[in-house]
Amino acid sequence: MILVVLISLFFVGGLLAWLAEFIDPKLPRLVALLVCLLSLLLMLSLLGGDNGSWLASVDWPWLPSFGISFYLAVDGLSLLLLLLTAFLGVIAVASAWDEITDQPGFFYFNLLWTLAGVVGVFTALDLFLFFFFWEVMLIPMYFIIAIWGHENKNYAAMKFFIFTQVSGLLMLTAILVLVYFHYVQFGAVSFRYQDLLAVATSGPLEMWVMLGFFIAFTTKLPSVPFHSWLPDAHSQAPTAGSVILAGILLKTGAYGLIRFTVPLFPEASMAFAPVAITLAAISILYCAKVAFAQDDIKRLIAYTSVSHMGFVTLGVYAWNEQALQGAVMTMLAHGLSAAALFMLAGGLQHRIHTRHMPDMGGFWGQVPRMSVVALFFSIAALGMPGLGNFIGEFLALLGAFQANILMTVLAALGLIFASVYSLWVIQKVFHGEYDDGKFQGHRLSDLDRREMTFYIAMMLGLVWMGMYPQSFLALSQPVLDSLLAGAGAITAVAGQM
C-alpha cells in the first residue's frame, strides 16, 4: 500500500498546489515542498526491509480480460532511484521558489505530476502500467517547458514532445508484440514483467522488438544519435525543469535498459552490445567536444550531461557486476551534480538575465559563495576521487574493460575532456575582469542561506557516495545479481569485438 500512497501523494498534492494558488500565490510552493518531504520520509521507511526480495509490492486486478494489472513493486535498485527522485523533487521546488511567479499553482501541479509519473516508472511491473506512467511524465514536463520556459520555449517543448512521444510509441508497439508472443506460446494475454521474461524470442524479429525498447530508453537517456532534443529543452526550461530533466527523467531511460531491455531480450542484447558500447563511446567523446563550442552555459552543461550519461550505457551493455554497479552509481551521482550545475546556471540567469558566457567573468570576487559551490560541483562532474561521480565512472570503465578494451580506452578519454571543459567554464565565468555594465542594471547577488542549505545537502550526498559507496552498492547488488543470473553474461559476445 505504501507505493499507492506515494503515487497518490504526488497526484493529490499536485491538485492541492493548484487550488492553493487561489488562496495565496505563495502557498503552492509550500504545498509542493511538504509533499516532496513527506514522500522522502515514506521512501526512507522502506530501507529497513529484506533487500533479498521485493521491499514492498501491490498487485491488484485492473483489466483482467486483457491481462493488465495494477502491479507495483520496489527493490533495492528502484528504491535508490525513488530516493533520488524525492530528494531532487525538494531541490526542484527550492530552485523554483523565487523564480516562478506566473501561475505558480499550475506550475507545481505539473511538477508534482511529473514526479508521480517517475515514481510509477520506477515501480511498475506491468508493462501496460509502465507505459501509462511513462506517458504521465511526458505531458506535464511539456507544459513546464512550454509555459515557463525562455525565449524559444515553444520550439524546445515541441521537440521534446516529438522525440519522446515517437520513441514511446515504438516501445508500445514492442510491448504489444511481446504480449502477442506470450499469448501464442502460453495461451494467455499478460503484461506482467515476470510472465514476459518467460517468452522465448529469437531471430531477426527479436532484434526489432528489442530495438523498440532500446530506442525509447536511449532517447530519454539520451544517447547519440537521439540526443538533440536535450540541449534545446535544457536551455529553454526553467531551472526546476532542468533539475527534473537532468536529475531524474534521464535516469528513467537508464533504468529501462537495466530492468527491461536486456533481461527481456538477452540474446538480441548480446548481439547488439558492440553497437551499444560503440554508441556510448561516441556519446562520451562527441558531446564533450560539442560542449566546447557552446557560449550558452545551460547548453554546455546539457551536452556534458549527455557525455556523462554515456558511461551509463557503457556500463549496462558491458553487463557484468562491476559495470552495472558503476552505471547505477553514475546515475545517482550525476543526478546530484547535474541538478546542482543547472540550478547554478538557472540562478545566474535569474540574477543577470543572460546565459551568454562571453558576457560573464570576474564573478569570484563578487559572489564568493556561488563561486565555491560552482567549483565543487564542476570538480565533482569531472570525476574527482573521493566524490560519487568518480566511483560510478571508475566502476563502469573497470567493468567495460572486461568487455571491450578499445571502446573503454576511447571512453576514458572523455574524463580528460571533462577536466578541460569543467575548468574552462570556471575560468570563463568566475575569473577575469568583472563588468556589471553588461547586465543592464540587473544585480548579481550571492547565494542566500536557503540556497546554500540545498547546495550543501547535495554536496554531502556526493561526498557520502564517494567516501561510503558500499551503502549504495549493497542496496543494488542483490537486484543486479538476479538480473545477471537471469539474462546471462553479455561480456562473452562483447569481448569478441
Grid cell at residue 69: 494489472
For 6, 53, 84, 90, 489, the CA distances from 77, given in Å and listed in that order, are: 17, 11, 11, 21, 19
The secondary structure of residue 354, as a DSSP letter, is -
- Least confidently predicted of 116-120, 197-201, 404-408: 197-201
Task: For residues 398 and 429, give the distance between their C-alpha atoms in angstroms, rounded to a whole number.
Answer: 34
| DSSP H or E segment with residue 256 | helix 250-256
| The pLDDT of residue 493 is above 50 | no
pLDDT digits over 70-102, tens only? 999 999 999 999 999 999 999 999 999 888 888
For CA atoms 237, 239, 243, 244, the dihedral sign is: negative
- Least confidently predicted of 119-128, 139-148, 310-319, 440-449: 440-449
> Residue 52 — pLDDT band, cuts 50, 70, 90?
low
| The pLDDT of residue 450 is above 50 | yes
Grid cell at residue 137: 511524465
Q: Do residues 264 and 178 touch, judged by C-beta distance below 8 A?
A: yes
| DSSP H or E segment with residue 68 | strand 68-74
For 1, 8, 481, the CA distances from 246, given in Å and listed in that order, are: 29, 24, 27
| The pLDDT of residue 361 is above 70 | yes
- DSSP letter string over 360-374? ----TTT-HHHHHHH
pLDDT digits over 250-284, tens only? 999 999 999 999 999 998 998 999 999 999 999 99
pTM score, whole prediction: 0.93
Share of residues in the chain with pLDDT > 70 (%): 96
Q: Do residues 335 and 251 touch, judged by C-beta distance below 8 A?
A: yes
pLDDT, position 342 = 93
pLDDT digits over 219-254, tens only? 998 888 888 899 999 889 999 999 999 999 999 999
Average pLDDT, the chain: 90
Task: For residues 484 and 497, give the distance between their C-alpha atoms in angstroms, rounded to a whole number.
Answer: 21
pLDDT, position 434 = 79
* Dihedral angle, C-alpha 401, 253, 280, 222, nearest 10 °: -160
| DSSP H or E segment with residue 4 | helix 2-20
Q: Taking every pair of C-alpha atoms in the chain, what is the biggest distance, in angstroms? A: 73
Helix (H, G, I), strand (E, B) or coil at 118: helix
Write b or e for each residue in 223-233: b if 16 or more Cβ atoms lie within 10 A of its Cβ, otherwise e.
bbebbebbbbb
